[in-house]
Amino acid sequence: MYPEKFEDLIISLRRLPGVGQKTAERYAYAIMGWDENIQKGLQEALKGLKDIHNCPVCGNMTDQKICSICEDENRDSSLICVVQNTKDLAAIEQIQTYNGLYHVLNGLINIKKGILPDHLNIQGLEDRLTDQTKEIILALDPSIEGETTSLYIEKLLKDKVKVTRLAYGIPVGGQLDYADPRTLTKAMEGRR
């Protein structure tokens, strides 16, 4: 009933999380109504995604050789904040109070789902420790998986470097990237 390319667009949009037929149609009509250069902008952004990969140092998303945070000489390289994913990294960056480096695990240990330490970017964290590294801040979700992963990393590194955690200030059972900036700031200050 719809032109083929329009139908294709709806099918593509239905793959987005939480988007059903009605919403996909609404989005498709909206995109149809966009100026051509705005449609082009979305096309170009999609085309550019293939250049994005994980930073070999910290695991953050980047389209450069090394990510902009690892590359930044003004950041305090004695601190490494461990996060589950780049979404959480982005949430911490937004509060603009943390000036150290990051380490992105790209997941959490989940025995039930078969996600073991070897599947995560944990070895990379141990490997990048130097004499300069003074503190590892664990900023993982306060969930069972986050707790398990935190305990694992603590055990692995506690003899080599000081390991702290974000203070509880983050609602227990909540998702880190949904925490408001003040809660995140408090949690950062009260790390232990």
Q: Would you tell me which residues interact with a copy of itself (CB under 8 A)? A: 1-6, 8-9, 11-13, 15-17, 22, 25-27, 29-32, 34, 36, 38-39, 41-52, 61-64, 68-69, 86-87, 89-90, 93-94, 178
Nearer to a copy of itself, 43 or 97 (CB): 43
Minimal distance, residue 45 CB to a copy of itself, in Å:
4
Q: What are the phi and psi torsion angles at 137 (to 5°)?
A: -100, 120
How far apart, in whole angstroms, are the C-alpha atoms of residue 128 and residue 47?
A: 32
Task: Compute the C-alpha angle 176/27/12, nearest 5°.
Answer: 80
Minimal distance, residue 29 CB to a copy of itself, in Å:
6
Nearer to a copy of itself, 82 or 153 (CB): 82
Minimal distance, residue 41 CB to a copy of itself, in Å:
6
Nearer to a copy of itself, 17 or 173 (CB): 17
Nearer to a copy of itself, 20 or 190 (CB): 20
Minimal distance, residue 40 CB to a copy of itself, in Å:
8
At 56, list the tokens: 């070999």
Nearer to a copy of itself, 45 or 172 (CB): 45
Minimal distance, residue 159 CB to a copy of itself, in Å:
33
At 120, list the tokens: 């995560």
Nearer to a copy of itself, 2 or 155 (CB): 2
Minimal distance, residue 13 CB to a copy of itself, in Å:
8
